[in-house]
Amino acid sequence: MPSYKRKVNIGVVEKPTPCVEEMVMGEN
C-alpha cells in the first residue's frame, strides 16, 4: 500500500502512530 504509507508519513511527522491511523480511517 504505497499511497497509504504516503498519507501516513504526512501525519506521522506531527502526530504519533495512533492518531495517524484515525486520520487515515476518516479519509478512507
H-helix or E-strand containing 28?
Answer: none
pLDDT at 5: 60
Q: Which residues of 7-25 are buried (b: 16+ CB within 10 A; e: fewer)?
A: ebeebeeeeeeeebeeebe
pLDDT, tens digit, for every residue of 1-28?
Answer: 455 566 666 655 555 556 566 656 555 5
Q: What domain count does the chain have?
A: 1
pLDDT at 21: 62
Q: What domain range is 26 assigned to?
A: 1-28
Q: Give the relative orientation of helices 17-27 and 2-14 as an angle to the nearest 10 degrees.
A: 130
Cell of 18: 495512533
